[in-house]
Amino acid sequence: MSLVAGYSPHVRTLTMVSFLLLLSTGVMNAQIVSYKDRNVVDYQDYINYSKAITGANKGEEYEGSPYMEDEFKDGIVFIEKDRKTNPVPMRYNMYADQMEFKRGDFTYLMEPVLSIDMISVGEHLFILGEFIEANKYNLGFFEVIDTGRLNVMMKQVVRLRPGQAPKAMESAPTLPTYLKLGFEYYYQLDKDEVFKISKVKALVESLPDHQDEMRQFVKKERISRKKEDLRKLAAYYNSLK
């Protein structure tokens, strides 16, 4: 199978069920509470893969890590409206924006497809969202902060600093290093295209309704472009009828 590099503009709607999440102030990660009634299916029948990557990105070749968590954790893929896969070891490569999974002794790249609703990996929950990059549509993984009619998500920025040849008085070269920097935040309305949140004001102005209530809420709660503030903002909007 070939790796999916981009998607044409006519594929704009990400099919996704509205999920119920139990979110509390003291819990940093979303907890899945509404998937019990889904039909469990064999992941091998529903997870497509692009290629095996066993042997790539060995730890000794780099400093740091491109992964959200280096260890593989039980992952479940929620498919369309009524299916979820049995658990399979997964991890998320933040630098490459790729989900990896293990089958036996081999590691594979999961192929992103629009039939995927969400993916749970350990304590993290991801949606697969469509966004514009380099003037074309792509599918990417976004970690969920809050979900409903308005989804708010985040990505940690990871950069790869190139290695350097040894300088004077140095005996060894400097290895390439993965640097984990700050976070970028995103939103998605009505399961449509994903946009980066540049300013809270711009997000509110993009909403098709409840703008007055949202402006008052932002002012009263002093909402800023921070994770917990965006969680509160989305939860409030999703509570409005």
Task: Write the pLDDT tens digit of every residue in 160-215.
Answer: 999 877 776 667 778 899 999 999 999 999 989 999 999 999 999 999 999 999 99
Please give the pLDDT value at position 218.
Answer: 96
Please give the pLDDT value at position 27.
Answer: 35
Q: Taking 80 as the threshold, does the pLDDT of residue 70 lie above it?
A: yes
d(CA 148, CA 132): 22
Per residue in 92-139, pLDDT (tens digit) is 999 999 999 998 888 999 988 888 889 999 999 999 999 887 788 888
Q: Taking 70 as the threshold, does the pLDDT of residue 88 lie above it?
A: yes
Better pLDDT: 11 or 106 = 106
Please give the pLDDT value at position 52.
Answer: 84
Please give the pLDDT value at position 95.
Answer: 94
- pTM, rounded to two decimals: 0.77
Mean pLDDT over 83-93 rounds to 94
Tokens (6 digits) for 85: 């896969």
Please give the pLDDT value at position 189.
Answer: 94
Mean pLDDT over 215-235 rounds to 96
Residue 121 DSSP symbol = E
Mean pLDDT over 32-36 rounds to 47
Better pLDDT: 56 or 66 = 66
Please give the pLDDT value at position 113.
Answer: 86
Domain locations in the chain as residue ranges: 21-152+187-196, 199-241
d(CA 13, CA 24): 30
d(CA 87, CA 77): 8
Of these ranges, 11-25, 28-42, 107-121, the one predicted with the greatest mean pLDDT is: 107-121
Better pLDDT: 49 or 10 = 49
Please give the pLDDT value at position 170.
Answer: 65
